[in-house]
Structure 1
């Protein structure tokens, strides 16, 4: 009998089906790996089991008995602990307080000595790999990313739960830390604990797992014993076919002629989150940046734009050196940057649509004064090209849907055509029709000679639109896919096996 079972679990957010049918059975004394592409439903299934998300349908069983997980506290009482991919630490509290956060007493009277002594048990598990200045009394916000990740792992371990879920726990850890963590998990498995482990790294899956469950497009498609499968079969299950699969989108990009002028040349670029990245982009070319999420793709684009300037390397724009010292400087040289995080990098909250669509135009044209009517006339062609739906320029940006807000952000860069368009996961959180409109326009801009660099967390967007795809891992380019090599299998293989 499985210790934990999820049967036909589903979850929908509006029109988005995050999980169509999630099935999972976890035995006592095993490490059960969950794998699937970005957005396949892995994390949603785990959050449902851990009580932080309520399912729409389906059944959860603990040791054969139905269970209702009304929230995280209820899950902990049942015996389920979880490490969340998005760290849930209290930055102003100490390491010890964060490790024992769920059991921390209220009020100001806390027995610090007893608290630190109890937390030290979990800190000692990672002795010699935590790094400098890591101790029970250290404030979490002063720690490095890898140290904060260790605190989150320790917090999950402190639950002493018979079922532990780890959602990509090794993403920020170094090799020594990963090795020690795996030793701990093997010891827990030998003690009879059940471990659910989400990872994108094939080496981790085959080094640690006993069984693997593959989720594709929100549905559990297979469970295999690790000893009876291999990386190629797992990737085929994730893709949904064989190695000859072609791009999922109907549009097949046409390769840019070898004689096309190089617009952007990047050589040995390094910075925060990436190193020694080199590539060229020609006029009329869409260059895709692929690979698992957070492997340096966004960091490279932000560095080129000057949001986080690079530390070394050279960039040529139209054969002249580009100093990515600030966004203002790169905008004036002909770069445009569109982020999928429109709240952070896009919309000007609380302001009218006209003010949101025209600031780049005002900067590039050095406008000190301009009439609203003249600005409206400048903005209309770009908005119409994107089929933007809005009642009037004076309406607040917040009155629009997410997709139309993103169209406003994109349109602001197209009033005065840039030489290079940097797209940083631009369709994140927008509807299918808005995506379709955006990519139709992107292909049209490329056909007119614009150089475009596209990072997308959705593989189908890259396969359907990019002439070439550079696969990133660990902050560097590990493989280039061109022509007939641009298939889902090759993209998955490059991303996951490189990992």
Structure 2
């Protein structure tokens, strides 16, 4: 009879007076996939960081095979076969892909680094993930989805016995998810134990054998996956009933007498975008769908002045504008939520309040910073978005990924923009918080603001967008409205299996 590969006995963790984990006990078998569910701040990532040696438990024991540990450190955990793909990337931006894949586990020949073998092995690993990526490409030039696949390649270098996946699919399309899950199932067949965190309950249902559900740091359920429906999973996570996730869409708006809030004509970006035309009206949510690498993020970054366009025109309320930087965009009423919240959105060394007011700080300066007004505003967003933080002076780096996302959202709202471009706005957010974000987006449109949502989750695009533009290979493939906004249509156009020769670009 097989013995458990991993056992936890009475694991608890406190940060000062705050207990974030309480008496967690479980056993996981070789070749088993254990899903770990819970709202943001429930303790999921803390538990996985204890298993991977990043955090030391305040109480309890860890068993790996026949070995007993009061605590692990990252080197000891790795030596005993524990590997982790974290929710936030742990890559060195200035190093190349292959250097990151083998960082800390470099191959040598005759005492020297064996660059040729590491390049070749990296190419093989990426090919197994169906990723066409140059091993010599610097990490800082990759998209978020490409960085995610590099993280996967890193853990495949070693023969891990326990693989931890913390929200690995949040920026991947269905195709990339299918490839990743194929790799996971192949590892399971070899006896590798998988610990899987995801807020996508369908993925959990499809992949996991058993579930551990946490709420407020406590273990509320440990059961086989087939005993719970997705609705029951969500209910146990939040401890209450959840109503409809997506708010009702508004009736189509008549825009004949008003120019679009934002209009883009003939936008081109070297080797990335070709002749992009789009428009979004006040009171509307425009969705941008497409496969990873299709150019959705590049459209947003070019509009915001983060990339220099080759040609094209941007109009706000019918007036042509020049945008050469994000500051210029902000002055014109635009705000952009990047898909890379830690790399481009938040200042991790700043506290919660400082991050919320980072873009709007001048409004709180009257000779010197009015900290009382700044704090009141931060408290407003903490309550409005249900940000879980011990206090507003806590470093944002200590918050869960979902609560960091809420802080980032608050940062944008505090500059009071009229046009918001949201790139993967619910990345790493639990189902209850997603519901809050969707209602917030709809409330913004009811305040006559225009919103563009970029998302790799088809369900999200379908549920929240009033119109959808499908982006393929740097071009707009089709515009979808009404009943045509469905998974089949989006995927057929995104993959190039269907063409729309009659598509008329915005403004024509």
Q: TM-score, normalised by structure 2?
A: 0.58
Q: Quick check: 1:103 aligned with 2:105?
A: yes
Which residue of structure 2 lines up, in the alignment, with residue 127 of structure 1?
A: 127
- 5 Å-filtered alignment, 1:295-444, equals 306=305, 324-333=323-332, 341=345, 343=347, 357-358=361-362, 376=366, 384=373, 387=376, 403=392, 427=407
Q: 1:466 to 1:219 in 2, by over 3 A?
A: farther
State the Cα distance separating 1:166 from its structure 2 match: 2.0
What is the rounded CA distance, in whole Å, between the counterparts of 2:457 and 2:307 in structure 1? 15
Q: Quick check: 1:59 aligned with 2:39?
A: no
What is the rounded CA distance, in whole Å, between the counterparts of 1:313 and 1:24 in structure 2? 58
Which residue of structure 1 lines up, in the alignment, with residue 472 of structure 2?
A: none
What is the rounded CA distance, in whole Å, between the counterparts of 1:279 and 1:15 in structure 2? 48
- 5 Å-filtered alignment, 1:172-211, equals 172-173=171-172, 177-211=176-210
State the Cα distance separating 1:195 from its structure 2 match: 1.3
Which residue of structure 1 lines up, in the alignment, with residue 51 of structure 2?
A: 49
Q: 1:151 to 1:233 in 2, by over 3 A?
A: same
Contact 1:305 1:335 in 2 (8 A): yes
Which residue of structure 1 lines up, in the alignment, with residue 37 of structure 2?
A: 35
What is the rounded CA distance, in whole Å, between the counterparts of 2:14 and 2:366 in structure 1? 39
Q: Secondary structure at the match of 1:376?
A: coil
Q: Secondary structure at the match of 1:81?
A: strand
What is the rounded CA distance, in whole Å, between the counterparts of 1:125 and 1:232 in structure 2? 37
Q: 1:173 to 1:317 in 2, by over 3 A?
A: closer
Q: 1:317 to 1:217 in 2, by over 3 A?
A: farther
Which residue of structure 1 lines up, in the alignment, with residue 462 of structure 2?
A: 478
State the Cα distance separating 1:60 from its structure 2 match: 1.9
Q: Deviations over 1:416-435 (max 9, x none)?
A: xxxxxxxx956369xxxxx9
Q: 1:214 to 1:263 in 2, by over 3 A?
A: farther
Contact 2:305 2:325 in 1 (8 A): yes
Q: Deviations over 1:85-114 (max 9, x none)?
A: 2333345555554434333379994251xx
- 5 Å-filtered alignment, 1:457-476, equals 458-459=433-434, 462=437, 468=443, 473-474=455-456
What is the rounded CA distance, in whole Å, between the counterparts of 2:14 and 2:159 in structure 1? 32
Unaligned runs of 5+ in 1: 248-254, 348-352, 362-374, 390-400, 407-423, 430-434, 483-497
Bigger mean CA deviation after superposition, 302-311 or 327-336: 302-311
State the Cα distance separating 1:193 from its structure 2 match: 1.8
- 5 Å-filtered alignment, 1:202-281, equals 202-244=201-243, 265=261, 281=282
Unaligned runs of 5+ in 2: 352-356, 379-389, 396-403, 427-432, 445-450, 467-489, 491-508
What is the rounded CA distance, in whole Å, between the counterparts of 1:40 and 1:91 in structure 2? 30
Which residue of structure 2 lines up, in the alignment, with residue 164 of structure 1?
A: 163
Q: Deviations over 1:333-356 (max 9, x none)?
A: 456789995638999xxxxx9x99
RMSD: 6.0
What is the rounded CA distance, in whole Å, between the counterparts of 2:27 and 2:120 in structure 1? 33
State the Cα distance separating 1:330 from its structure 2 match: 4.0
What is the rounded CA distance, in whole Å, between the counterparts of 1:311 and 1:14 in structure 2? 53
Q: Deviations over 1:63-122 (max 9, x none)?
A: 47632333111112223122222333345555554434333379994251xx75477557
Which residue of structure 1 lines up, in the alignment, with residue 84 of structure 2?
A: 82
What is the rounded CA distance, in whole Å, between the counterparts of 1:34 and 1:186 in structure 2? 17
Q: 1:43 to 1:381 in 2, by over 3 A?
A: closer
Count of residues in correspondence between the two structures: 411
State the Cα distance separating 1:304 from its structure 2 match: 6.9
Q: Secondary structure at the match of 1:102?
A: coil
State the Cα distance separating 1:51 from its structure 2 match: 0.2
Q: Secondary structure at the match of 1:220?
A: strand
Q: TM-score, normalised by structure 1?
A: 0.59
State the Cα distance separating 1:194 from its structure 2 match: 1.0
Q: Secondary structure at the match of 1:183?
A: helix
What is the rounded CA distance, in whole Å, between the counterparts of 1:480 and 1:177 in structure 2? 23
Q: Deviations over 1:303-343 (max 9, x none)?
A: 77655689999987667566655445445445678999563
What is the rounded CA distance, in whole Å, between the counterparts of 1:69 and 1:311 in structure 2? 55
State the Cα distance separating 1:53 from its structure 2 match: 1.4
Q: Deviations over 1:238-292 (max 9, x none)?
A: 2322244999xxxxxxx9xx99x9998457999999x99976556xx9x9x9xxx
Which residue of structure 2 lines up, in the alignment, with residue 68 of structure 1?
A: 70
Contact 2:52 2:72 in 1 (8 A): no
Q: 1:281 to 1:125 in 2, by over 3 A?
A: same
Q: 1:308 to 1:185 in 2, by over 3 A?
A: same
Q: Secondary structure at the match of 2:407?
A: coil
What is the rounded CA distance, in whole Å, between the counterparts of 1:188 and 1:173 in structure 2? 20
Q: 1:332 to 1:50 in 2, by over 3 A?
A: closer
Q: 1:151 to 1:63 in 2, by over 3 A?
A: same
